């Protein structure tokens, strides 16, 4: 890469600018705009994510401290606090949601060869939701509880690479299972869910879409055993059954056979019961599939710790959604950078290195080589995993 180009500009070179422009035109984002285009707004907010800025004033002061280098990073003029605030409040958040989705489409194939340790050649997704707390006095529209505000981030990630493939931001009071109505499931794929998504009418729709699910069963499940399959109890399995639901409503909502697998986890010293509509998988693989759900728990923990989605730069719903979607776009962009440059560093390490070197005019690969030389890393196999810090 050009040695006269800033690290920031080199990172942004992995963005398909024409795809971004298509998203802007779709929602007339730059119509009648004289200052701070949608692209410059994205740059400023991405800068805030990459360098851990705390407020709009912090963003503006930090950017303008690098004034001589801003033009070659994509800024056409100085960023002003009021202009950035107005952009976050008024520019349609769907611009950045659609753009993040184009980055996701780019990132997923890069991680397609990730080994999950499962004998499966199908896509595996984990679905869950997390609540982002908001101050009710500043965000009165986000009423959650009596003295608490929040929004809920419904997310489905591709286990290979922990890349989000579906995100929906709703009222914090929204039920988890409702999001199943808004997801188009990939035929032949597996989706892993916890008990909060137990809605047998919606699960039956997944079954009818020719997709598979693995979900924890609730303790009060009413069912009738149709057949028991042989198991090896020394592996932790306790039962593998074909069942029919017998509850007054559940039997109508899910009239087909279900598979019920009971497994005792020595690590947790707890018996776990799973339901699935796949009758061909080995029962241990069903349990192993559910264990992959921890990826989404780590994803939520990671983005809350390392991205700016707990402290917001505006108080309107549009501003909150804009910031969350740009944070997701930055996360995926760093994941693309990691693969395209063949970096063995964790996403956390990459973010930390970028945060301190963003306006250096050094080839980006040299920056990571310099880091490796400084800390004496010689064996990539000894590096921490994706989410470890």
Name the strand (E) or helix (H) holding 240. strand 237-245
Distance CA 212, CA 53 (A): 42
DSSP string, 151-202: EEEEEEEETTTTEEEEEEEEETTS-GGGGGGG--PPTT-EEEE-GGG--HHH
What is the pTM for the complete model shown? Answer: 0.90
pLDDT attached to residue 13: 93
Q: Are 154 and 179 in contact (CB under 8 A)?
A: yes
- Quick one: DSSP state of residue 215? E
Instruction: Give 67-102 pLDDT, tens digit per residue.
Output: 888 888 888 888 999 999 999 999 999 999 999 999
Model confidence at 15: pLDDT above 90: yes
pLDDT attached to residue 385: 52
Does residue 212 sit in helix, strand or coil?
strand
Mean pLDDT value of segment 114-132: 87
- Please report which confidence band the pLDDT of residue 383 belongs to, taking 50, 70 and 90 as the band edges: very low
- Please report which confidence band the pLDDT of residue 144 belongs to, taking 50, 70 and 90 as the band edges: confident
Name the strand (E) or helix (H) holding 306. helix 294-306
Q: What percent of the chain has pLDDT over 90?
A: 77
Token pair 């851990």 is found at 52
Name the strand (E) or helix (H) holding 144. strand 143-145
**Domains of the chain and CATH, by start:** 7-96+313-382 (no CATH), 198-279 (2.20.25)
Mean pLDDT value of segment 136-153: 89
Q: Are 215 and 193 in contact (CB under 8 A)?
A: yes
Model confidence at 199: pLDDT above 60: yes
Q: How is residue 45 written in tokens?
A: 């907010």
Mean pLDDT value of segment 341-356: 92
Nearest alpha-carbon partner for 127 in 187, 174, 190, 171: 190
Mean pLDDT score of the chain, rounded to an integer?
Answer: 91
Q: Checking phi first, is residue 103 left (phi over 0); if not, alpha (psi -120 to 50) or beta?
A: alpha
Q: Checking phi first, is residue 236 left (phi over 0); if not, alpha (psi -120 to 50) or beta?
A: left
Nearest alpha-carbon partner for 255 in 267, 247, 266, 265: 247
Mean pLDDT value of segment 214-219: 94
């Amino acid at each position: 890469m050009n040695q006269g180009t800033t690290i920031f500009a080199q990172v942004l070179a992995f963005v398909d600018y024409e795809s971004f422009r298509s998203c802007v035109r779709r929602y007339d984002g730059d119509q009648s705009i004289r200052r701070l285009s949608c692209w410059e707004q994205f740059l400023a907010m991405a800068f805030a994510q990459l360098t851990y800025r705390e407020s709009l004033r912090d963003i503006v002061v930090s950017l303008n401290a690098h004034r001589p280098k801003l033009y070659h990073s994509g800024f056409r003029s100085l960023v002003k606090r009021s202009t950035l605030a107005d952009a976050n409040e008024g520019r349609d958040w769907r611009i950045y949601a659609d753009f993040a989705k184009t980055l996701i489409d780019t990132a997923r194939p890069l991680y397609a060869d990730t080994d999950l340790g499962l004998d499966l050649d199908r896509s595996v997704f984990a679905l869950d939701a997390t609540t982002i707390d908001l101050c009710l006095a500043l965000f009165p529209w986000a009423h959650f509880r009596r003295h608490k505000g929040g929004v809920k981030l419904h997310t489905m990630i591709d286990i290979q690479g922990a890349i989000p493939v579906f995100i929906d931001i709703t009222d914090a009071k929204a039920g988890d299972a409702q999001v199943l109505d808004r997801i188009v499931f990939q035929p032949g794929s597996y989706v892993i869910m916890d008990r909060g998504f137990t809605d047998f009418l919606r699960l039956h729709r997944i079954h009818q879409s020719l997709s598979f699910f693995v979900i924890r069963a609730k303790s009060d499940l009413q069912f009738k055993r149709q057949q028991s399959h042989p198991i090896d109890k020394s592996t932790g399995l306790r039962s593998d059954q074909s069942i029919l639901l017998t509850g007054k409503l559940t039997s109508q909502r899910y009239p087909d056979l279900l598979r019920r697998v009971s497994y005792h986890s020595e690590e947790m010293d707890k018996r776990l019961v799973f339901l699935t509509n796949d009758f061909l998988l080995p029962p241990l693989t069903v349990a192993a599939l559910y264990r992959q759900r921890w990826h989404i728990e780590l994803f939520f923990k990671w983005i809350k710790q390392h991205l700016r989605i707990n402290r917001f730069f505006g108080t309107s719903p549009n501003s909150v959604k804009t910031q969350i979607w740009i944070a997701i776009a930055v996360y995926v962009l760093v994941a693309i950078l990691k693969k395209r440059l063949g970096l063995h560093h964790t996403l956390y390490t990459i973010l930390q290195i970028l945060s301190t070197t963003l306006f250096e005019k050094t080839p980006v690969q040299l920056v990571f080589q310099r880091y490796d030389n400084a800390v004496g890393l010689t064996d990539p196999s000894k590096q921490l995993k994706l989410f470890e810090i």
